[in-house]
Amino acid sequence: MAYEHLTPPAGDKITIKDGILNVPDQPVIPFIEGDGTGPDIWKASQKVFDAAVEKAYGGKRKISWFEVLAGEKSYDLFKDKVSDLGKAWLPDDTLKAFDEYLVGIKGPLTTPVGGGIRSLNVALRQILDLYVCLRPVRWFEGVPSPVKRPDLTDMVIFRENTEDIYAGIEFKAGTDEAKAFGAFLSEKYPALAKKVRFPETAGYGVKPVSEEGTERLVRAAIEYAIAEGKDSVTLVHKGNIMKFTEGGFRDWGYELAKKEYGAVELDGGPWCKIPEGKRGAGIIIKDVIADAFLQQILTRPAEYSVVATLNLNGDYISDALAACVGGIGIAPGGNINYVTGHAIFEATHGTAPKYANLDKVNPGSVILSGEMMLRHLGWTEAADLIIKGVNGAIGSKTVTYDFARLMDDAKEVKCSEFGDAIIKAMD
């Protein structure tokens, strides 16, 4: 099927075979600029990516950027041209491009609170089945932080990205759907229906969490720990209260570690360890209840390394951990399906609308998301240059407002200037 409104640029497709990506020298990479501060951030970031690739490969490799639309820019363009407004927010062309070219990157997209459209960010993850939301959290020397030892925080979050209460199965209070759901409960499960304190005015949410969904997420986390030489994978859940969803996540996670990696219980369990002679020998699989985890990331961060968790917990944990190492101005991520090869890299933060078009915010999260993307593609030299550039810019205290307000003697620069400082520091 041809594109309806888009024309792809010259370049080649990234493909996957037996789980290994094949990356041409001029890959077409679709991107969404994003809403709010997205355009400012994207402009600064793209310049950094191109500079890093040019410097690393001297013209032998080059990204062929393919702008695809979603969010407000798309809606404004297509709202009068389509009968289904959902397709104005997220056109089929955009989905086709991410599907066809496998790996892409995006800026943040707005989601209204309460009513209005459901999250386009979540829709992209669900439609492309990007089951891992990978969010590394590390401290860059010199970044101001509210904790005493930010250097002790070095974690990688594997957030399940397709299930949980986050999937958006909800019934609004007072609607026929909510009434039907309440009636179904009363009829089939009268004891449970009694637990709904105010049935006449209750809205409902459904929280699907499956064995398959848990297994593929936990498998990805353990594989990462093996590949990167990490010593533990921690399952973070609220399984004491939500026994068959969050508790299921914990139990299925441990079972997978035993079944596929031969992990054996330590001191009667449930913690377990992959024994000598097996792939991943020495890795400990442990678990912690989510509320305790949120205080321990402040009090004992060094005890955690790879973290596997459910969708909503992962959302909260991402921002909390990002704050420990300097805030969401510098918190990258990637949404990945390791089987099909589909991936969309994106920052942890949102559109920060009050700063839109001021050329003010920190582009660091999208720049580091691009760094993750380049590393994911095997373009390690370009990725390393971005890290060198970020370290150099921060080291010289040339930073955006979010860092500058917490640093002594910093030179506050604009979003675009921070990108330029990163490029300069690549030399």
Ligand X SMILES: O=C(O)CCC(=O)C(=O)O
Q: Is 84 exposed, middle or buried (0-12, 13-18, 19+ CB in 10 A)?
A: exposed
Catalytic-residue membership of 414 = no
Torsion, Cα 357 359 362 365, to 10 degrees, reads 60
Nearer to Mg ion, 164 or 315 (CB): 315
Nearer to ligand X, 120 or 394 (CB): 120
Nearer to Mg ion, 48 or 122 (CB): 122
Catalytic-residue membership of 166 = yes
Residue type present at position 419: G
What does the radius of gyration of the chain's CA atoms come to, in whole angstroms? 22
In this structure, what token pair is assigned to residue 179? 């009434």
- Distance, in Å, from the CA atom of 101 to the CA atom of 373, rounded to the nearest integer, reads 13
Q: Which residues contact 185 (CB under 8 A, 6 or more apart)?
A: 192, 193, 196
Catalytic-residue membership of 355 = no
- Distance, in Å, from the CA atom of 207 to the CA atom of 175, rounded to the nearest integer, reads 19
Among the listed residues 54, 160, 251, 315, the single contact to Mg ion using CB under 5 A: 315
Residue tagged active-site, from 96, 106, 230, 238: 238
Nearer to ligand NDP, 136 or 329 (CB): 329
Closest CA to 376 of 332, 418, 420: 332
| Least spacing, CB of residue 362 vs ligand NDP, in Å | 3
Among the listed residues 14, 122, 222, 321, the single contact to ligand X using CB under 6 A: 122
Bridge partners (DSSP) listed for residue 103:
343
Nearer to ligand NDP, 245 or 351 (CB): 351
119 binds ligand X (CB under 6 A): yes
Q: Which residues contact 148 (CB under 8 A, 6 or more apart)?
A: none
| Least spacing, CB of residue 373 vs ligand X, in Å | 17
Q: Which stretch binds ligand NDP (CB under 6 A): 97-105, 346-354, 367-375, 386-394?
A: 346-354
For the four alpha carbons of 364, 369, 373 and 378, in that order, the dihedral sign comes to positive
362 binds ligand X (CB under 6 A): no
351 binds ligand NDP (CB under 6 A): yes
CB nearest ligand NDP: which residue?
Answer: 350
109 binds ligand NDP (CB under 6 A): yes
Q: Which stretch binds ligand NDP (CB under 6 A): 52-60, 259-267, 269-277, 358-366?
A: 358-366
Site for ligand X in 84-113 (CB under 6 A): 111
- Are 306 and 288 in contact by the 8 Å Cβ rule? The answer is no
Among the listed residues 22, 26, 111, 391, the single contact to ligand NDP using CB under 6 A: 111
164 binds Mg ion (CB under 5 A): no
- Distance, in Å, from the CA atom of 66 to the CA atom of 245, rounded to the nearest integer, reads 39
Among the listed residues 346, 359, 371, 420, the single contact to ligand NDP using CB under 6 A: 346
State the binding partner of 122 from Mg ion, ligand NDP, ligand X, none, CB within 5 to 8 A by kind: ligand X
State the binding partner of 233 from Mg ion, ligand NDP, ligand X, none, CB within 5 to 8 A by kind: none
Q: What is the DSSP letter of 359?
A: S
Residue tagged active-site, from 315, 359, 402, 420: 315
Site for ligand X in 300-339 (CB under 6 A): 315, 318
| Least spacing, CB of residue 319 vs ligand X, in Å | 7
Which DSSP string corresponds to 2-16? --SS--PPS-B--EE
Among the listed residues 104, 108, 150, 334, the single contact to ligand NDP using CB under 6 A: 108
State the binding partner of 361 from Mg ion, ligand X, ligand NDP, none, CB within 5 to 8 A by kind: ligand NDP
- Distance, in Å, from the CA atom of 157 to the CA atom of 159, rounded to the nearest integer, reads 6
Catalytic-residue membership of 87 = no
Residue type present at position 184: F
Q: Which stretch binds ligand X (CB under 6 A): 45-53, 114-122, 374-382, 417-425?
A: 114-122
Nearer to ligand X, 127 or 226 (CB): 127
- Distance, in Å, from the CA atom of 174 to the CA atom of 187, rounded to the nearest integer, reads 19
- Are 373 and 53 in contact by the 8 Å Cβ rule? The answer is no
Question: How many other β-carbons are positioned within 10 Å of the β-carbon of residue 270?
Answer: 15
- Are 309 and 235 in contact by the 8 Å Cβ rule? The answer is yes
- The residues of the shown chain that bind ligand NDP, judged by CB under 6 A, are 37, 108-111, 121, 328-329, 346, 349-353, 361-362, 365, 402
Residues with active-site annotation: 166, 238, 291, 315
- The residues of the shown chain that bind Mg ion, judged by CB under 5 A, are 315
- The residues of the shown chain that bind ligand X, judged by CB under 6 A, are 111, 119, 121-122, 315, 318, 348, 350
